């Protein structure tokens, strides 16, 4: 008996599963012919139901929390040559009589299109011979497969709340193992990727940051960012709230307090300062929304899937800038001393501008590239 059936039997809400079903890498489901017929209940869907029955169509749907799952599987589990990819990635695969046929197709979603890259759907026909001249199935079979793939993604995405939150960090799709294994992994990471920030102007009284290695997770980014604020590296940012269950991660204000010269740029003593003060007296901004990510790619994927709205977010704190930004933004690095005149407030390191509207986004970035 499934977990949902057990909850129904006990008069409990079947959608509220226990914690052991949460924080998953992915969810999946297998549909037999009868189940697929039920995906087309309307009077106008009679032709689709007939095709499903005629070709005894079955389907498999897999929906993961991050597209990095595909990279991790290919590189770390299948151990393919670096950069080499197999067919296991987001898309629609057609198959007949136990064999995949043709290349992956795009799942034709009309909204939340980012999900088409997070879902892998296999639609399997029985007794359907591919049109070898066209190098694929007949148009009506491809069309019904696309309809099925959209219906499957729309079904699986209802359980999105059971998946991990995508911070941009590389996923693990194998068991984490024992505590000793995890500690050893962190020791090795600390040795391979140490983080040392020392400056006589910051982190009193020790003059050095207390995190020992570059961030591996979103939680590491949060810790590092708060140490940079507490240590005086970033000034004038006041965190109002942090949340692990709201749509966004936190709320903050920009604040300027006396002495105002504490906000001015100095290459050694205040490298994240502003070139010229815009305020001649103390200032407190309105509340803004803040997002933490290990990699900015994860946030852009959330924009594409419409889980988060770009216009709601004013500041992103991340370790890695990723590469997805190139699709929609231009970036001005304020770590380049020739650009510091563009820094609106202390601590801002990059300005992202939308390619189409030239609207700017302020993004705090603590990584070693970009």
* Whole-number CA gyration radius for the chain: 25
Residues 57 and 183 in one domain: no
Residues 155 and 31 in one domain: yes
Residue 370 forms part of a structural domain:
no
Most confident of 4-13, 77-86, 209-218: 209-218
Q: What is the pLDDT of residues 233-275, one digit of tens each?
A: 999 899 999 887 678 999 999 999 999 999 999 998 999 999 9
Q: What gap in Å lies between CA 327 and CA 330, rounded to an integer?
A: 9
Residues 15 and 104 in one domain: yes
Res 133: pLDDT: 46
Q: How much is the average pLDDT of 24-30?
A: 91
Residues 221 and 359 in one domain: yes
Residues 96 and 227 in one domain: no
Q: How much is the average pLDDT of 137-149?
A: 92
Q: How much is the average pLDDT of 292-305?
A: 90
Q: Does residue 335 or residue 80 have the better pLDDT?
A: 335
Q: Does residue 2 or residue 330 have the better pLDDT?
A: 330
Whether omega before 265 lies within 30 degrees of 0, making that bond cis, reads no
Residues 144 and 203 in one domain: no
Q: How many CA atoms lie within 13 A of 259 on its CB side?
A: 3
Residues 146 and 286 in one domain: no
Q: What gap in Å lies between CA 62 and CA 26, rounded to an integer?
A: 7
Percentage of the residues of the chain whose pLDDT score is greater than 70: 85
Which of 137, 162, 187 delimits the end of a domain? 162
Q: Does residue 8 or residue 303 have the better pLDDT?
A: 303
SS (H, E, C) 87-141: CCCCEEEEEECCEEEEEEECCCCCCCHHHHHCEEEEEEECCCCCECCCCECCHHH
Q: Does residue 22 or residue 9 have the better pLDDT?
A: 22
Residue 355 forms part of a structural domain:
yes
Q: Provide the residue range defining the domain that includes 46.
A: 3-162
Residues 95 and 198 in one domain: no
Res 14: pLDDT: 63
Residues 156 and 257 in one domain: no
> Which contiguous run of DSSP H or E holds residue 351?
strand 350-354
- Number of structural domains, the chain? 2
Which of 132, 162, 192 delimits the end of a domain? 162
Instruction: Provide φ and ψ at 3, rounded to 5°.
Output: -60, -40
**Averaged pLDDT score across all residues of the chain:** 85
Residue 169 forms part of a structural domain:
no
Residue 19 clears pLDDT 80, i.e. is over it? no
Residues 221 and 358 in one domain: yes
Residues 69 and 195 in one domain: no
Q: How many Cβ atoms are within 10 Å of 160's Cβ, its own excluded? A: 15
Residue 62 forms part of a structural domain:
yes
pTM exceeds 0.75: no
Contacts with 152 (C-beta within 8 Å, 6 or more apart), sequence order = 29, 31, 39, 59, 61, 119, 121
Q: How much is the average pLDDT of 89-109?
A: 90
Residue 81 clears pLDDT 60, i.e. is over it? yes
- In 3D space, the residue among 326, 334, 336, 322 whose CA is nearest the CA of residue 293 turns out to be 322
Residue 173 forms part of a structural domain:
no
Residues 198 and 137 in one domain: no
Res 173: pLDDT: 58
Residue 168 forms part of a structural domain:
no
Collapsing DSSP to helix, strand or coil, 158 comes out as helix
Q: How much is the average pLDDT of 178-196?
A: 86
Res 1: pLDDT: 46
Residue 198 is classified by DSSP as B
Which of 93, 128, 162 delimits the end of a domain? 162
Percentage of the residues of the chain whose pLDDT score is greater than 90: 49
Q: How much is the average pLDDT of 285-307?
A: 91
Minimum mean pLDDT range among 66-80, 101-115, 216-230: 66-80
Residue 171 forms part of a structural domain:
no
Res 364: pLDDT: 59
Res 366: pLDDT: 55
Residue 34 forms part of a structural domain:
yes
């Amino acid at each position: 008996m499934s977990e949902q059936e057990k909850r129904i039997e006990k008069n409990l809400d079947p959608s509220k599963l226990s914690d052991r079903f949460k924080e998953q890498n992915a969810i999946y489901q297998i549909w037999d012919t009868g189940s697929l017929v039920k995906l087309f209940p309307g009077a106008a869907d009679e032709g689709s139901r007939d095709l499903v029955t005629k070709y005894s169509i079955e389907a498999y749907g897999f929906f993961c929390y991050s597209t990095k799952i595909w990279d991790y599987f290919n590189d770390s589990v299948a151990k393919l040559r670096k950069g080499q990819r197999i067919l296991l990635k987001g898309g629609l695969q057609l198959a007949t009589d136990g064999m995949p046929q043709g290349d992956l197709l795009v799942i034709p979603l009309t909204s939340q299109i980012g999900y088409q890259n997070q879902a892998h759907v296999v639609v399997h026909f029985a007794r359907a011979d591919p049109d070898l001249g066209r190098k694929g199935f007949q148009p009506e079979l491809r069309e019904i497969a696309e309809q099925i793939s959209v219906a499957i993604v729309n079904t699986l995405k209802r359980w999105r709340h059971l998946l991990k939150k995508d911070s941009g960090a590389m996923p693990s799709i194998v068991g984490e193992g024992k505590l000793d294994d995890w500690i050893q992994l962190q020791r090795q990471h600390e040795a391979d990727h140490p983080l040392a920030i020392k400056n006589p102007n910051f982190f009193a009284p020790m003059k050095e940051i207390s995190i020992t290695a570059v961030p591996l997770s979103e939680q590491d980014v949060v810790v590092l960012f708060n140490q940079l604020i507490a240590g005086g590296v970033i000034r004038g940012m006041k965190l109002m709230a942090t949340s692990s269950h709201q749509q966004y991660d936190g709320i903050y204000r920009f604040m300027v307090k006396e002495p105002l010269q504490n906000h001015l740029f100095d290459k050694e003593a205040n490298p994240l300062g502003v070139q010229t003060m815009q305020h001649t007296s103390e200032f407190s901004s309105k509340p803004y929304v803040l997002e933490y990510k290990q990699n900015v790619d994860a946030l852009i994927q959330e924009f594409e899937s419409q889980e988060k709205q770009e216009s709601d977010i004013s500041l992103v704190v991340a370790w890695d800038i990723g590469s997805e930004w190139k699709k929609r933004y231009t970036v001005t690095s304020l770590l380049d001393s020739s650009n510091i005149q563009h820094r609106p407030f202390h601590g801002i390191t990059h300005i992202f501008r939308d390619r189409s509207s030239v609207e700017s986004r302020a993004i705090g970035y603590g990584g070693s590239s970009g």
